[in-house]
A and B are shown apart, each in its own frame.
Chain A
Amino acid sequence: MSEVKYSKEHEWIKVEGDIGTIGITQHAAEMLGDIVFVELPDVGSSVEKDGNAGVVESTKAASDVYTPISGEVMENNQAIVDDPGKINSDPENEAWFFKLKIKDKSEMDTLMNKEEYEKFSKESGN
């Protein structure tokens, strides 16, 4: 059974065992507009919850990507580096950003479930 949770920075994380797959939400992709460049954290690097873990750029501007959970990066998605447009077309499946080995599963409790996130993104308007 996998579990999907969401952060206030508009990232999603899907957890299977102690591996988390992270990407940006549909809402975030829509707000950013056409994504034309992405930078991902290196495999083997450690990322800290709410810390910087990559960059996405639209035609208009660059935005930081944050990791919702701490851990060690196991894999990053080269397909979105080669074709960043995938992030606009399928942000919550095919266009995942990176997978990490979760350091502390209790950090998951600080994140929102789907209903909470939908309410949050509607209310925050950004």
Chain B
Amino acid sequence: MEIKKTSLYQLHKNNNAKFVEFAGYEMPIQYDQGIIEEHKFTRKHSGIFDVSHMGQLFIYGDENLTKDLEKIFPVDLKNLELNCSKYSFLMNNEAGIYDDLIITKIEGGYVIILNAACKDNDHKILSKLLLNKYDMNLDESRSLIAIQGPRSVQILNNIIKGVENLNFMTGNWFTYKEQKIFITRSGYTGEDGFEISIENHLVEDFTKELLEKGAKLIGLGARDTLRLEAGLCLYGHELDINKTPIEANLKWAISKQRIENSDFIASDVIKNQIIEGVKKIRVGIKPEGRIIAREKTKIFNEDDLLVGEVTSGTFGPSVNGPVAMGYIEKEFSKKDTKVFLEVRGKKHPANICGLPFYKKSYVKGVN
């Protein structure tokens, strides 16, 4: 299969991006400055991320669509206001996660942002579950970029007036060069920021304007260190078909009312796991020294018994030390529990810790 390129490929190239294949796309992993500087720049200033490889699935329909989607997603869509977003998951009957996603109510339907590696499969599953009743479009004609960091609001508001009035997890349509663009105040770095859905032929001009105003292009490498410090899950690492949202410690994303009604896919499993508890659960892990525990590192308890495994681990540039997330047996998941990480045959001390590693700065009360 031929490797795909986003509409910003040439711009990445002109900015000396180092590329890596990710989910079938040639994506920038970093630019000249390197991951650490890019990470810090995003936290301090404003970083632009090309996330056009992610899926933008538009579904249009009447009130039956909301009912049908509620049979699939464990969120309260009936009471979701126009242009508001929720984090959710697509699950199988055992509550295994096919994908994690953001669903936003728009005029006449919904738009769902899907992970690049999952989007085609998600599309297939959703078409089947919805019995092809609705107009559904995995839109390849639009790009998706994120602008993240404390200066982003000012920079973006210079180009698109009014974005400063959006609250976290809400969005709206705006106009750029006479074309409609959809902007949400959201992102995946733990910083205040926005995601912009824009037609492919406009995205380069738009990104260049952001660059002129002082934002910088940031690669997927820093996106990973930023989201890990923010304690956010990455599909294929913290989440997969063998893990449930309750095991992933994402109960907060499931509507209480919906659990009581128990009328969505795998609601019985979810309900049962909430009542009975789970065997393993996602936690934050902080190594005591500088040792980096990568994905698949084994976690031992103080009696040298294998009790878990790391799902993501790296050096956190803002924390200025190693950070990790992983799954551990429930009885060892309490904060400050001492564990040992086996790296290159040696066991290194670490502690179970709360998440995030780095405080989030979402903007919630602007209107």
Contact = CB atoms under 8 A, between A and B. Distances in A.
Interface of A: 33-34, 36-37, 39, 55, 57-62, 81, 84, 88
A59 B315 contact: yes
Contacts of A60: 29, 35, 221, 314
B35 A55 contact: no
B20 to A, nearest CB: 9
A33 to B, nearest CB: 6
B221 A59 contact: yes
5 closest Cβ pairs, A-B complex = A36-B315, A34-B36, A59-B35, A34-B34, A37-B292
23 contacts: A33-B30, A33-B34, A33-B35, A34-B34, A34-B35, A34-B37, A36-B290, A36-B315, A36-B322, A37-B290, A37-B291, A37-B292, A37-B315, A55-B344, A57-B292, A59-B221, A59-B225, A59-B317, A60-B35, A60-B221, A60-B314, A81-B290, A84-B290
Nearest to B29: A60
B294 interface: yes
Contacts of A59: 35-36, 221, 225, 314-315, 317
Nearest to A36: B315
A36 B292 CA distance: 9
Contacts, number: 40
Given A33-B30, A36-B36, A59-B314, 20 more contacts: A33-B34, A33-B221, A34-B34, A34-B37, A36-B290, A36-B315, A36-B322, A37-B290, A37-B291, A37-B322, A39-B344, A57-B315, A59-B35, A59-B317, A60-B29, A60-B35, A60-B221, A62-B292, A62-B294, A81-B290
Contacts of B290: 36-37, 81, 84
Say which size band chain B's interface belongs to.
10 to 19
Nearest to B35: A59
Interface in B273-323: 290-292, 294, 314-315, 317, 322
A80 to B, nearest CB: 11
Nearest to B39: A59
Nearest to B18: A33
Nearest to B289: A37
Contacts of A81: 290
B331 to A, nearest CB: 30
A55 B292 CA distance: 11
A76 to B, nearest CB: 15
A57 B321 CA distance: 13
Contacts of A36: 36, 290, 292, 315, 322
Contacts of B315: 36-37, 57, 59
Contacts of A84: 290
